[in-house]
Structure 1
Amino acid sequence: MNRGKKDWKKKRLFRQALARILQKLVNKPLLSAPHTGALKTIAILAQEKYGDAILLTPLLKSLKKEFPETEIHLFTFNKTIAEFFNTDSNIAVIHNVKGNPISYFKGIFCQKFDVLFNTKDHPSTSFLINSLLIRARYRVGIDNEFHRNLYNYLIDIDYHSPVALKNCGLMTFLGKSVAQELCRPYLPPKPVSEKITQFLETSVLEGAIGINISAGGPTRYWTEQNWEIFINAFPEQKIIVLSSPDDLEAKRKLEHTCSTIIASPPTTNLYEAGLIVEKLLLLVTPDTAMVHIASCFNTPVVGLFGKARQDLSRFKPFLIDYAMVVSPTQSVHDITANNVIDAVKKQLQR
């Protein structure tokens, strides 16, 4: 076992031990009936990655629709997610736990919320502590053995359910139901550069497919060689390359090397990337936030996934036409180019 796995195991054991201690100390009574009282304010603990943030938006949309006068307070745990949501009109206040201590302490000490919701379905040190520190009449979590006795209400949903549906499970506690087809995520609007605006106004995106070469971790990247093989397999197909700023050099290299690629301006935020994805015929991407951006705009996707059941079930493409190409290992780079080519051909035929 390498050092990274050992550290991860130690952290997991610590979180579980902390949860066990808190369970004995807190021992909250469990409610079985939905909430029926006033709902003036609700506190939601937002997870730390872009994909999780995108999959939280269906709940925000549903809450605002059913309870338009309710103030939604979002507690974030890094600057990136605070900035992602700072233009979301469904949210009243953002409290950045690790970035704005004044706002954070006002949130936990100067206000009592009607409901608090922990979006994680597993024990997390920060989320458990904040679930207890933030003052709320009712605390809601997703059912698992380490959440029992810590929350007034536990959402009973299968661990392998799509995360968007898990988040919308909060609505059951509030006496509302949300149909799956209404749980499509969205992207909060962001500024769009003049270059992207001009690019979107051209006709080059008509009939184009997109490839996203970026990913959230080293095991989720596909190799540049495989991308080149894939691109060359579609000599008549217009292709757009999307990437994060960190992979801009690789994007430019592919654009220079492969004649079928249409050069595009770099995107500076996920919203700009989403506006391009919206116009695509199809998106090919590793398992990353771009899968969920495709869901926002109902764009078909071919997703490249490692062999991990929880990723294949919980974070699969949602409410869109899709194909999943699964690696024989935990690493996306072990997927062959031919497997992806075949999957894309089938999607294009459809």
Structure 2
Amino acid sequence: MTLKQKIKNYLFKKIAQKKYNENIINLKISRILLIRDGGIGDAILSYPLIRELNRFYPNARIDIYASLNNHFMYKYLPEVNNVYLKYKKRNWLKSWIEIFKMRNNHYDLAIDDTVIRFHRTLHTMIINPKLILGNTGTKKRYGFDKSELSLYYKVYKTRDKKLIHMADTRLKVLKFLGINNYNTNMIFPLPKEKNIEIQNYIKKYKDYKLLGLNTDASHKDRTLNTKQIIDLCNLLKNEKIKIIPFCIPSKFEYFEKLINENSLTNVAIPFKTKSIYEAAEVLNELDLLITPDTSFVHIASGLNIPTVALFWNDPIKYILCGPKADNSVALTPKGTESNLENINLNEIQENAFKILNIKK
């Protein structure tokens, strides 16, 4: 660690302190800020917490401090009042305008369940909520975590010895507010009006059991390769099943070509989804989803769509981020490699047929 970093860490720890009144936990809560940047999956995993906060504080206003990568994921959550943005560094002025807007809201409670970062803690100090709760974060970056910063009235452990799902971990903050009987089910709100194009697309396959296949993830090591896709689709061939593939717009032609050149007659041409919500609408019509470790796992959990999720052989992956929908399973390769190269396709087929109640 450089001298500059040591000085920064020292100042960070020194200024991120606050003296609370011992009765602060009993304050009346009417304005809540959830600090939740990150990606799409991070946003979805915060939905149960937002729902439960609204359930126990039905008259409270709930705002979100989000990032450019996930702010749109709060669009259809009726519990959310406003979403504020942290912009990229080049738009620092916009970020500071947002911070002072939040400061003017005079929040009673802020919940920070993100990783520990100096800039985020500084922003929280300026926003100045009456009560700040959160997770500990880890000591990896600064040599200390939030438990050593009195700015946070109470923090829960980011990770206990017994691993539990990440959405359940975030709900632990409710215990600091005296809330113990909370619901851990996932949710995923969809637009009220159904997309007619999607409904017409699905109607074409109404006589089949619909199996969604998402092959992409944010990292190539979590993505199924072309041979795996072809082999898996062939293994899943059954007169009762139609495979509905998901793909980003730039891969539509790739999938269309792959289907036609390999005579994958059991695979439908993908629907050209324009947003994550359109993909979720398609997913909501399916009987089963097969997907690598990506936000699709969490969307399916929120819609309660049975899922065969594919993970690296790492408990931190398949327990913390595993599927929570009924009748779901997380599969891993037998080895400890950080990729899906050796995922067992026959095992995927067996679990898919079992969930769909189809005999080989």
Aligned match of 2:117 in 111, 114, 124?
124
> Does 2:233 correspond to 1:239?
no
What 5-or-longer segments of structure 1 have no aligned partner? 1-9
Query: Where does residue 319 of structure 2 map in the other structure?
Result: 313
State whether residues 210 and 284 of structure 1, in contact with CA within 8 Å, keep that contact through their aligned partners in structure 2: yes
Give the Cα–Cα distance (whole angstroms) in 2 for the partners of residues 44 and 157 of structure 1.
Answer: 16
Aligned match of 1:296 in 302, 324, 330?
302
Distance 1:157 1:48, change over 3 A: closer
Query: Where does residue 165 of structure 1 map in the other structure?
Result: 168
State whether residues 119 and 167 of structure 1, in contact with CA within 8 Å, keep that contact through their aligned partners in structure 2: yes
State whether residues 19 and 128 of structure 1, in contact with CA within 8 Å, keep that contact through their aligned partners in structure 2: no
Q: Over residues 10-68 of structure 1, what are the superposed CA-to-partner deviations in whole Å (9 max), with x where a residue is unaligned?
A: 9xx96x98566423333345899883221111111113211111111111111222212
Give the Cα–Cα distance (whole angstroms) in 1 for the partners of residues 226 and 310 of structure 2.
Answer: 14
Query: Where does residue 147 of structure 1 map in the other structure?
Result: 146
Give the Cα–Cα distance (whole angstroms) in 2 for the partners of residues 151 and 219 of structure 1.
Answer: 37
Aligned match of 1:53 in 33, 43, 46?
43
Aligned match of 1:74 in 54, 64, 68?
64
Aligned match of 1:92 in 51, 68, 81?
81
Give the Cα–Cα distance (whole angstroms) in 2 for the partners of residues 238 and 195 of structure 1.
Answer: 18
Matched residue count:
336
Distance 1:118 1:262, change over 3 A: same
Give, in angstroms, the shift of residue 302 of structure 1.
Answer: 0.7
Pairing 1:103-252 to 2, within 5 Å after superposition: 104-120=98-114, 122-144=115-137, 146-148=145-147, 149=149, 150-156=151-157, 158-159=159-160, 160-180=163-183, 182-189=184-191, 193-204=195-206, 206-236=208-238, 237-252=241-256
Pairing 1:24-63 to 2, within 5 Å after superposition: 24-28=14-18, 35-63=25-53
Query: Where does residue 341 of structure 1 map in the other structure?
Result: 349
Give the Cα–Cα distance (whole angstroms) in 2 for the partners of residues 26 and 205 of structure 1.
Answer: 60
Give the Cα–Cα distance (whole angstroms) in 2 for the partners of residues 155 and 39 of structure 1.
Answer: 20
Query: Where does residue 140 of structure 2 map in the other structure?
Result: none
State whether residues 32 and 63 of structure 2, in contact with CA within 8 Å, keep that contact through their aligned partners in structure 1: yes
Amino acid aligned to 2:289? L
Give, in angstroms, the shift of residue 331 of structure 1.
Answer: 1.0
State whether residues 215 and 288 of structure 1, in contact with CA within 8 Å, keep that contact through their aligned partners in structure 2: yes
**SS of the residue aligned with 1:169?**
helix
Distance 1:152 1:330, change over 3 A: same
Give the Cα–Cα distance (whole angstroms) in 2 for the partners of residues 88 and 41 of structure 1.
Answer: 17
Q: Percent of pairs identical after alignment?
A: 19
State whether residues 164 and 319 of structure 2, in contact with CA within 8 Å, keep that contact through their aligned partners in structure 1: yes
Pairing 1:271-282 to 2, within 5 Å after superposition: 271-282=277-288
- TM-score with structure 2 length normalisation? 0.82
Distance 1:25 1:177, change over 3 A: same
> Larger Cα Rg: Structure 1 or Structure 2?
2
Give, in angstroms, the shift of residue 103 of structure 1.
Answer: 5.1
State whether residues 34 and 175 of structure 1, in contact with CA within 8 Å, keep that contact through their aligned partners in structure 2: no
**SS of the residue aligned with 1:238?**
strand
Give the Cα–Cα distance (whole angstroms) in 2 for the partners of residues 127 and 299 of structure 1.
Answer: 35
Choose 299-308 or 186-195, whichever is displaced more.
186-195
Give, in angstroms, the shift of residue 124 of structure 1.
Answer: 3.0
Query: Where does residue 4 of structure 1 map in the other structure?
Result: none
Q: Report the RMSD for the aligned CA atoms in angstroms.
A: 3.0
Aligned match of 2:331 in 316, 325, 332?
325
Distance 1:205 1:241, change over 3 A: farther
Query: Where does residue 257 of structure 2 map in the other structure?
Result: 253
Query: Where does residue 141 of structure 2 map in the other structure?
Result: none
Amino acid aligned to 1:147? K
State whether residues 33 and 173 of structure 1, in contact with CA within 8 Å, keep that contact through their aligned partners in structure 2: no
Give the Cα–Cα distance (whole angstroms) in 1 for the partners of residues 326 and 201 of structure 2.
Answer: 25
